[in-house]
C-alpha cells in the first residue's frame, strides 16, 4: 500500500504511477511526464530489483519529477536523511507516507 495523494490541477502532461516497475517492455510510452511515482527499493529499500536497470528506466522516461516509493529505513539500516541522499543522487525524491503531490 502506498499512502500518497496526487492532485492533477489542469496539467496537460500525464502522471505515471508504477510502484512495482522494473523496466519498460520495449520503450517508454511517452517522455512527456510531469510526475513519475515508481519503485525505489534498489535505492531506498530492500534491494529486490537490479538498480542499474531501474535507473536506466527512470532516465529514459525523463519525468519532470520522479518520486521513489518502497523506502525502508529498517531494511536499509539507514536513517531517512540517508535515504533522501540516495534518491537525490539519482535525481529523484523520496516518497513520504501521506504526502500530497500537486501538479500545477
What pLDDT score was predicted for residue 44? 77
- Range(s) of the domain holding residue 96: 5-103
Q: What per-residue confidence (pLDDT) applies to 91?
A: 94
Question: Could you give the maximum distance between any two Cα atoms of the chain, in Å?
Answer: 40
The residue among 77, 71, 42, 75 whose CA lies nearest residue 56 is 42
Gyration radius (Cα) of the chain, Å: 13
pLDDT (tens digit per residue) in 45-86: 776 667 888 888 888 888 888 999 888 888 888 898 998 998
Mean pLDDT of 10-30: 70
For residue 47, the model assigns a pLDDT of 65
Structural domains in the chain (count): 1
Q: Could you tell me the three cell numbers for 67?
A: 518520486
User: How many other C-beta atoms are found inside a 10 Å radius of the C-beta of residue 18?
Assistant: 14
Q: Which run of H or of E encompasses 18?
A: strand 15-18
Q: pTM score, two decimals? A: 0.78
Amino acid at each position: 500500500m502506498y499512502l500518497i495523494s496526487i492532485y492533477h490541477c489542469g496539467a496537460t502532461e500525464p502522471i505515471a504511477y508504477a510502484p512495482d516497475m522494473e523496466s519498460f517492455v520495449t520503450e517508454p510510452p511517452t517522455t512527456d511526464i510531469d510526475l513519475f511515482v515508481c519503485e525505489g527499493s534498489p535505492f531506498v529499500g530492500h534491494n529486490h530489483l537490479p538498480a542499474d536497470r531501474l535507473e536506466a528506466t527512470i532516465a529514459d522516461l525523463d519525468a519532470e519529477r520522479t518520486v521513489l516509493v518502497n523506502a525502508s529505513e529498517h531494511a536499509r539500516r539507514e536513517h531517512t536523511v540517508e535515504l533522501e541522499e540516495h534518491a537525490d543522487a539519482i535525481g529523484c525524491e523520496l516518497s513520504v507516507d501521506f504526502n500530497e503531490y500537486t501538479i500545477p
